Structure 1
Amino acid sequence: MASATETNPTEINPTEIEVPRGLKGVVVTETRLSDVRGLEGFYHYRQYSAIDLAQQRSLEDVWHLMLLGELPDAAQLSAFRARTAPLRRLPDGLRPLLPALAAATARSGPLAGLGAALSIAAADRGVRPLYDTAPEQRIEDALFATALVPTILTALHRLQQGEQPVEPRADLTYAANYLYMLTGREPEPAQARAIEQYLIATVDHGFNASTFTSRVIASTGADLVACLLGGLGALSGPLHGGAPSRALDTLDEIGTPDRIDDWIRAHVLAGDRIMGFGHPVYRTEDPRSRMLRTVAEGFGGELIEFAVTVEQRVEAILAELKPGRELHTNVEFYAGVVMHLCGLPREMFTPTFAAARAIGWSANILEQAADSKIIRPAARYVGPPAPQPVPAPQGPLPR
């Protein structure tokens, strides 16, 4: 019998492939959706700068761009809003179950309940595996899920606070409706626009951990919501999406301007991670951080002044203590400031990130499903040599 190598000359022994830990820099596929150019401090959605989109267009525009492939004109945008607004409403099969889900996840927060709620909503809708659905149905499922995420998150939060969910309004934009469902009050335009810019800036960001996880699951042919749940799990980690509130906690821990230098020096010398600083891709300032700093400065106040001072002192002290090491604020640092200034409680920071990133995950899931090969890497075994004799049992085997 021929060996696998003889049968397929292109087969490569996985033990002969050397790759960096964490697959850093390893290209695993081609995409038309986005890219991050870390050395330049630039990233884009399709052919457009993500920061330009955040500054010039609406979240619905970017949602349309990512899922349907183009920026809409006025007529297309109107049709898209009419298409997605009804999808915001809680499905009848999910609505009566939300109070129990909110109670069960009260200690963990809305993000923990989102996965279960989405699974129930998908089952109620009859979402089928990607492998068994046509491209048009996949898009419908993606629009359904991404429209529903903000409604579920805000409903769970309000229930956990002892308040009733607020029904979505079709006349409000995605971002304004999100704040309305969260607080029960129509937001000030400046607040709605600030949150919209944050959402746009975090829709997608290359092959980050959660996006890659979503695509791995999509490569198995699983249903779209199952893929989103994988992304949610990855995003919940403090080293990925779980950092905005922790970055704001850093400012709280420092407390006052006179404590900044001593606090920073102690943490830098101890080798501690300073939440809200550093990024695995960018070697320049994170463009998302730069934009959100400007957004926050538009509100003014002591918090943003303090945050800017902390940023400046971290960079200055790091240059003094560890010359040559680049460390800049990442998106989480000023994201926390912006969300706080817009009235979002800290337990909703990462869920808000998830609401935006669900759009990017969905676009990646659709792309993966369109031309999929199951993602199945290998691991190098480094345990005791095998096979070894199995030790005799210490007693009779169960019958």
Structure 2
Amino acid sequence: MPAASTETAPLDVPRGLAGVIVTDTALGDVRGREGFYHYRHYSAIELAESRSFEDVWYLMFHGELPGRAESAGFAARTAALRHLPPEVREALPGIARAGAASGPLAGLRTALSLLGAAAGFRPVYDLDAGHRREDALAACAAVPTVLTALHRLGQGLRPVEPRDDLPFAANYLYMLTGREPDAARASAVERYLVATVDHGFNASTFTARVVASTGADTAACLVAAIGALSGPLHGGAPSRALDTLDAIGTPDRIDGWIRAQVLAGGRIMGFGHPVYRTEDPRSRMLRSVAQSFGGPLADFAVQVERQVEAILAELKPGRELHTNVEFYAGVVMELCGLPREMFTPTFCAARMVGWSANILEQAEDSKIIRPAARYVGPPPPQPVPAP
């Protein structure tokens, strides 16, 4: 078979680049066999349980956790960036109407492109590290405002302006509902947001880095990442795990429903992960958060998890299938009052920080990402037929 045309000798790699190392990173890693992942040199779960979203944002951008004064200054600085430029704010009603069927995540792509233009984002290739970071800060801070405004406009409600005095997670819930959240719900959402900031070289993160390697502006890189996240094979939807709980309905139906699904070759939403071969640490943490609220939904979710794992161990021996982040993320967000159509956008609001950190890191490397492909069509050149 003829080799692909390229300057260097082509290498055959697994489909989907599975397991292929394409670059070095200091941002973090996922160790699937251990059930562990980290941001910089800290356990991501420990960070979620002990530090604010703003502190982790600072860590991803600066490489170290902030001291008390730095933490307060960074929180105040990013809070001031939550307010949208007039050009973006005035365009949101039209974006919401045009994308009514698609939802806030699709509308975010348009709004983020407009934000980049209105804020004067320039190609990362032309900027120094400080200016790149400023653009990334502005984008990450504005996205929750855009997402909540698009959601409310889609519901026939007026957007809620951000409050500079509230932390990131509390302000997000406030803009979504119009009410300042209680401490327990704000804390639960914050832990979820921290736990989903980054997760290795997934498809959307790699997409952001590919675009950054061309030298494009930060908004273009982030819009590309959102496009990758929107695919059902990547972003998923925590609401689908709740749909499974709804379909099962009651404890006495768990065994029969799950067995029927597995034997029919169906997928149990919220179970299994392409990287983890043990329990997803995010799921373990979010189970604890859900149980801290208590109530029928949390209790039922735990019962379903235990029975599903037992049935899967029986019917699919040798395979490690546990709950992934989607299962308990859906439960936690439901308990915190988030509408199901905002589950994936909420994930996106957190992942903006991870994508941006990867963009900043990639921008330090001037080499464009340009792999090769093997041509498998009819042998060229063929005669061009007459018209």
Give the TM-score normalised by the residue count of structure 1.
0.94
Which letter maps to 1:112?
A
1:12 is matched with which residue: 4, 8, 16? 8
Q: Hey, what's the Cα distance between the residues in 2 that align with 1:313 and 1:372?
A: 51
Q: Hey, what's the Cα distance between the residues in 1 that align with 2:233 and 2:261?
A: 18
Q: Hey, what's the Cα distance between the residues in 2 that align with 1:133 and 1:152?
A: 26
1:214 aligns with 2:243: no
Gaps of 5+ in 1: 394-399
1:236 aligns with 2:220: no
1:177 is matched with which residue: 171, 178, 184? 171
Q: Secondary structure at the match of 1:36?
A: strand
How far the C-alpha of 1:381 sits from its partner, in A, is 2.1
1:278 is matched with which residue: 272, 293, 318? 272
Q: What's 2:321 paired with?
A: 327
1:148 aligns with 2:152: no
How far the C-alpha of 1:127 sits from its partner, in A, is 0.4
Cα shift readout 1:280-303 (whole Å, capped 9, x = no counterpart): 110000000000000000001111
Q: Hey, what's the Cα distance between the residues in 1 that align with 2:298 and 2:384?
A: 64
Counterparts of 1:1-399 in structure 2 under 5 Å?
11-14=7-10, 17-393=11-387
Cα shift readout 1:107-146 (whole Å, capped 9, x = no counterpart): 1111111111111111111100111111110000000000
Q: Hey, what's the Cα distance between the residues in 2 that align with 1:333 and 1:98?
A: 32
Gaps of 5+ in 2: none
Q: Hey, what's the Cα distance between the residues in 1 that align with 2:243 and 2:230?
A: 17
Higher alpha-carbon Rg:
1
Instruction: Please tell me whether the aligned partners of residues 278 and 327 of structure 1 are also in contact (alpha carbons under 8 angstroms).
Output: yes
Q: Hey, what's the Cα distance between the residues in 1 that align with 2:221 and 2:309?
A: 38
Q: Hey, what's the Cα distance between the residues in 2 that align with 1:317 and 1:160?
A: 41
Q: Secondary structure at the match of 2:86?
A: coil
Which letter maps to 2:274?
P
Instruction: Please tell me whether the aligned partners of residues 176 and 187 of structure 1 are also in contact (alpha carbons under 8 angstroms).
Output: yes
Q: How many residues are matched?
A: 384
Q: Hey, what's the Cα distance between the residues in 1 that align with 2:267 and 2:15?
A: 20
Instruction: Please tell me whether the aligned partners of residues 130 and 224 of structure 1 are also in contact (alpha carbons under 8 angstroms).
Output: yes
How far the C-alpha of 1:385 sits from its partner, in A, is 2.6
Q: Secondary structure at the match of 1:186?
A: coil
Q: Which moved more, 1:44-53 or 1:17-26?
A: 17-26
Cα shift readout 1:46-67 (whole Å, capped 9, x = no counterpart): 0000000000000010000001
How far the C-alpha of 1:382 sits from its partner, in A, is 2.2
Instruction: Please tell me whether the aligned partners of residues 243 and 275 of structure 1 are also in contact (alpha carbons under 8 angstroms).
Output: no
How far the C-alpha of 1:391 sits from its partner, in A, is 2.9
Q: Which moved more, 1:107-116 or 1:351-360?
A: 107-116
Q: Hey, what's the Cα distance between the residues in 2 that align with 1:256 and 1:383?
A: 54
Q: Hey, what's the Cα distance between the residues in 2 that align with 1:372 and 1:273?
A: 42
Cα shift readout 1:255-284 (whole Å, capped 9, x = no counterpart): 221211111111211222221111111000
Cα shift readout 1:189-247 (whole Å, capped 9, x = no counterpart): 00000000000000000000100000000000000010001110111122222321111
Q: Secondary structure at the match of 2:343?
A: helix
Q: Secondary structure at the match of 2:29?
A: strand
Q: Hey, what's the Cα distance between the residues in 2 that align with 1:297 and 1:387?
A: 65
Instruction: Please tell me whether the aligned partners of residues 51 and 291 of structure 1 are also in contact (alpha carbons under 8 angstroms).
Output: yes
Q: Hey, what's the Cα distance between the residues in 2 that align with 1:180 and 1:132?
A: 37
Q: Hey, what's the Cα distance between the residues in 2 that align with 1:64 and 1:105?
A: 33
Which letter maps to 1:281?
V
Which letter maps to 1:13?
A
Q: Hey, what's the Cα distance between the residues in 1 that align with 2:378 and 2:298?
A: 55
Q: Hey, what's the Cα distance between the residues in 1 that align with 2:76 and 2:265?
A: 52
How far the C-alpha of 1:386 sits from its partner, in A, is 2.5
Percent of residue pairs bearing the same amino acid type: 74
Instruction: Please tell me whether the aligned partners of residues 114 and 152 of structure 1 are also in contact (alpha carbons under 8 angstroms).
Output: yes
How far the C-alpha of 1:340 sits from its partner, in A, is 0.4
Q: Hey, what's the Cα distance between the residues in 2 that align with 1:182 and 1:380?
A: 48
Q: Secondary structure at the match of 2:30?
A: strand
